[in-house]
Amino acid sequence: MSVKNLDDLLGEGVQGRYVLVRSDLNVPLDGDRITDDGRVRAALPTIKKLADAGAKVVVTAHLGRPKGEPDPKYTLAPVAKRLSELLGAEVALAGDLVGESAKALTGGLADGGVVLLENVRFDARETSKDAVDRSELAAELGALVPGGAFVSDGFGVVHRKQASVYEVASVLPAYAGGLVLAELDVLKKLTDDVKRPYVVVLGGAKVSDKLGVIANLLTKVDRLLVGGGMAYTFLKAQGHEVGQSLLQEDQLDQVKGFLAEAEKRGVELVLPVDVLAATEFSADAEHEAVDATAIPADRQGLDIGPRSRELFAGKLADAQTVFWNGPMGVFEFEAFSGGTRAVAEALVKSDAFTVVGGGDSAAAVRQLGLPEDGFSHISTGGGASLEYLEGKELPGVTALEEKN
């Protein structure tokens, strides 16, 4: 990829210069408490490098899905607090995005200082389908940093054509941040000159979220392991009853096509052989391990069972490259976290190049207390990773390439 990067910008000198950084700080919250600060920690190196070099750093980011207007539930205040703690210096939070508070704070920013703008999605123009609206917001963001530069470092949003990701790159001199470059480098290893056997583990709730990536991966992988809620649609497509388990009836024909394509291409498609079938969806639900082909009509599968855990671990043992996206069950409930833990532990033990594809998988690794350095890479962007592996262009990356 031919783009200017953070090192190029630092080499040009940033002392006293404004730099607008698009970070991905979309962290999970419980009230105003951050339950997983992985994305904040991932954003830190780029922000710190710029601040240490004397730049006036203005950070923009989103949190959650507010409806284009301010919503206290989605304020970035908890993020500003955590960023201040990690940086060891105060990160002031503007009370708005491009209004009077933002102008006052950025205007008074000292060299090496950092300001975080309020949630960029509080402005409907950020996600507007109208490029004119998005360009207008991008111009206002650019006006906050006169004579400044733009660093795209939010890998989790580079698959979005949004004002702070795409249009702003045409307003300011644009550079790729270290996080974006690192993520793209890893993804290239999953698509170019892959070491085999190449095994992909997919989980999560819905098949429909991963249609494109499954179709594309079936042309590239040696083995595809399917768990989580999406596995029940595969089991149903094979003719098995799945009780009250999560099922996408409208995807059955598509999944039957995947099963046929896998067989035709010689891809080993592995499904659970047993599941933990529960009486209801709750943390303390009564449950038992049953054959995946014999789920009782009044029960729902909430995790892969003990034999499936052994099976999946065995199918990962000889892998040289592994990509994992999506939990094997409802890992947030302790009783149904064993399948996800089994897959994660198999990857920790593996000598393969192992990539955890962001989102719930990354959250699970941290929640289960597994060593993050036990994996080759833990992505910060689940959706962006999947779209890349699907073969789609990433607008936030394209915008950087177009500047070179």
57 with 121, same domain: the answer is yes
174 with 307, same domain: the answer is no
Average pLDDT on 334-344 reads 97
Give domain status of residue 402, yes or no: no
156 with 248, same domain: the answer is no
Instruction: Point out the domain boundary residue: 126, 152, 180.
Output: 180
Instruction: Point out the domain boundary residue: 133, 149, 180.
Output: 180
> What does each C-alpha distance from 229 to 211, 234, 241, 307, 320 come to in angstroms?
14, 10, 14, 17, 27
- Beta sheet of 149-152, edge-to-edge order: 91-93, 114-116, 56-60, 18-22, 149-152, 174-176
pLDDT reading at 358 higher than 80: no
Query: pLDDT, tens digit, for every residue of 223-259?
Result: 999 999 999 999 999 999 999 999 999 999 999 999 9
Residues 6 or more apart whose Cβ sits within 8 Å of residue 159: 381, 383, 384, 387, 388, 392, 394, 395, 396
Task: Report yes or no: 237 and 292 within 8 Å, Cβ to Cβ.
Answer: no
> Which pLDDT belongs to residue 192?
87
149 with 236, same domain: the answer is no
231 with 142, same domain: the answer is no
Average pLDDT on 315-333 reads 96
Domain interval for residue 349: 194-390
| pLDDT band with cut points at 50, 70 and 90 for residue 404 | low
User: Count H helices, E strands: the chain?
Assistant: 15, 17
127 with 13, same domain: the answer is yes
Residues 6 or more apart whose Cβ sits within 8 Å of residue 147: 17, 18
List, as residue ranges, the binding site for ATP: 210, 301, 332, 358-361
Give domain status of residue 189, yes or no: no
Instruction: Point out the domain boundary residue: 148, 180, 212.
Output: 180
Give domain status of residue 202, yes or no: yes
* Backbone torsions φ then ψ of 116, nearest 5 degrees: -110, 120
7-11, 194-198, 203-207: which range is least confident on average? 203-207
Q: Both tokens of residue 75?
A: 């304020």
Give domain status of residue 168, yes or no: yes
> What does each C-alpha distance from 332 to 283, 302, 321, 345, 356 come to in angstroms?
8, 11, 27, 17, 17
Concatenate the DSSP letters of all residues of 282-305 into one string: STT--EEEEETT---TT-EEEEE-
Task: Report yes or no: 19 and 5 within 8 Å, Cβ to Cβ.
Answer: no
Give domain status of residue 99, yes or no: yes
Residues labelled catalytic: 39, 206, 359, 383
> Which pLDDT belongs to residue 2?
76
pLDDT reading at 85 higher than 70: yes
208 with 111, same domain: the answer is no
Amino acid found at 194: V
> Which pLDDT belongs to residue 403?
66
Residues 215 and 122: their CA atoms lie apart, in Å, by: 35
The enclosing domain of 140 has a CATH number of: 3.40.50.1260
237 with 132, same domain: the answer is no
Concatenate the DSSP letters of all residues of 96-155 into one string: SSSSHHHHHHHHTPPTT-EEE-S-GGGSGGGG-S-HHHHHHHHHHHHHTSTT-EEEE--G
List, as residue ranges, the binding site for substrate: 24-26, 39, 62-65, 121, 160
Task: Report yes or no: 348 and 369 within 8 Å, Cβ to Cβ.
Answer: no
| pLDDT band with cut points at 50, 70 and 90 for residue 1 | low
Q: Which strand (E) or helix (H) includes residue 30? A: strand 29-30
339 with 234, same domain: the answer is yes
Tell me the average pLDDT of the chain.
95
202 with 276, same domain: the answer is yes
232 with 365, same domain: the answer is yes
Residues 309 and 329: their CA atoms lie apart, in Å, by: 11
Give domain status of residue 377, yes or no: yes
pLDDT reading at 275 higher than 70: yes
Whole-prediction pTM value?
0.89
Concatenate the DSSP letters of all residues of 199-223 into one string: EEEE-SS-GGGGHHHHHHHTTT-SE
List, as residue ranges, the binding site: 24-26, 39, 62-65, 121, 160, 210, 301, 332, 358-361
pLDDT reading at 348 higher than 70: yes
| pLDDT band with cut points at 50, 70 and 90 for residue 101 | very high
240 with 367, same domain: the answer is yes
| Bridge partners, 278 (sequence order) | 287, 300
pLDDT reading at 357 higher than 90: no
List, as residue ranges, the binding site for (2R)-3-phosphoglycerate: 39, 121, 160
Query: pLDDT, tens digit, for every residue of 164-185?
Result: 999 999 999 999 999 999 999 9
Residues 266 and 132: their CA atoms lie apart, in Å, by: 48
Looking at the 3D structure of the chain, how many domains does it have? 2
Give domain status of residue 278, yes or no: yes
